[in-house]
Amino acid sequence: MVQLQNLNGQEPVGIDYNKMMKFDKGMTLLEALVSTVIIGIGFVAVFQMVNYSIRSIDVSSDRTKANYLVSMVAEDLISEKNADSGDSSNPKLKDYLAAKQSKGNSWDSTQNVVDECKPIAKTGLTKIPDKKFEKWRQYFANKRLKCESGKTTKILKVYDICSSFAGSSCSYTSNSLYTNSTNKNKYRIYEKRIYGKMQLKVRTGGKKDKTKYLYFQID
């Protein structure tokens, strides 16, 4: 027995540890099993959150890269719209792509390749359109962006629009009258305008992929 001496002169208080140990019961088997189950549920939840976070980071990374790559195509066309296309009928790059659109797409990642995700680099290209197509094809390949042949095709469409009153021919005509919000005057768009539309599908890891679109004015 351990005696604790009270400094005020009162009777000492004794604590019998041997007696206390007789009433100190251990953990039952049922309690141990319940504790194990609760801890296991916690670990499973943590692992699921980790896996979800990894997938989210992966998808977010692909979307960010897709934004940069789509913007790259738009900047290429805007900066070199008047470059020599090597085509006598449509000598400027913008007109060449607009004329090509009338026969299908101005460009897509499946043109003249066996596997759009792993294209073989082409050399010896001399025409600017061919060089641009090859550049875009390599940048959109599997090494920079998740790719699945036939499901993640990248497509560029270029449209030329003008009024039939302008005396020039375009793939699309618009004779609509527009009202100026300041002076209320009505006017038409006579000058030819060229617009681009870039679209691509981004893998999300789910059942449906996300399709991204970028519309931009080339000229």
d(CA 117, CA 123): 18
Neighbours of 51 (CB within 10 A): 10
SS3 assignment, position 68: helix
SS3 assignment, position 86: coil
For residue 86, which of 100, 69, 67, 70 has the smallest C-alpha distance? 100
User: Tens of pLDDT along 174-183?
Assistant: 777 777 777 6
Q: Is residue 9 part of a domain?
A: no
Residue 100: pLDDT band with limits 50, 70, 90: confident
CA 80, 84, 85, 90 dihedral sign is positive
Q: Is residue 15 part of a domain?
A: no
Q: What is the pLDDT at residue 107? A: 85
Q: Is residue 1 part of a domain?
A: no
Structural domain count of the chain: 1
Q: Please, are residues 155 and 198 in contact by the beta-carbon 8 Å criterion?
A: yes
Q: Using a pLDDT cut of 70, give the percent of the chain over it.
A: 79
Q: Is the pLDDT assigned to residue 120 strictly greater than 50? A: yes
Amino acid found at 133: F
Q: Is residue 140 part of a domain?
A: yes
d(CA 50, CA 146): 21
Q: Is residue 170 part of a domain?
A: yes
Q: Specify the residue for token string 């375009």.
A: 170
pTM: 0.66
Measured between alpha carbons, how far apart are the two ends of the chain, in Å? Answer: 99
Q: Is residue 130 part of a domain?
A: yes
Neighbours of 154 (CB within 10 A): 25
Q: What is the pLDDT at residue 24? A: 55
Of the listed ranges 54-68, 146-160, 180-194, the one predicted with least confidence: 180-194
Residue of 69 and 174 predicted with greater confidence: 69
Q: Is residue 155 part of a domain?
A: yes
Range of the domain at 148: 34-217
Main-chain dihedrals φ then ψ at residue 140, nearest 5 degrees: -90, 5
User: Tens of pLDDT along 4-53?
Assistant: 455 555 555 555 556 555 555 556 777 778 788 888 887 777 777 877 77
d(CA 70, CA 197): 10
Q: Is residue 19 part of a domain?
A: no
Of the listed ranges 12-21, 51-60, 82-91, 109-118, the one predicted with least confidence: 12-21
Task: Tell me whether strands 155-162 and 172-173 are parallel, antiparallel or unpaired.
Answer: parallel
Provide the mean pLDDT of the chain.
76
Q: Please, are residues 70 and 212 in contact by the beta-carbon 8 Å criterion?
A: yes
* Tokens read off for 214: 């970028």
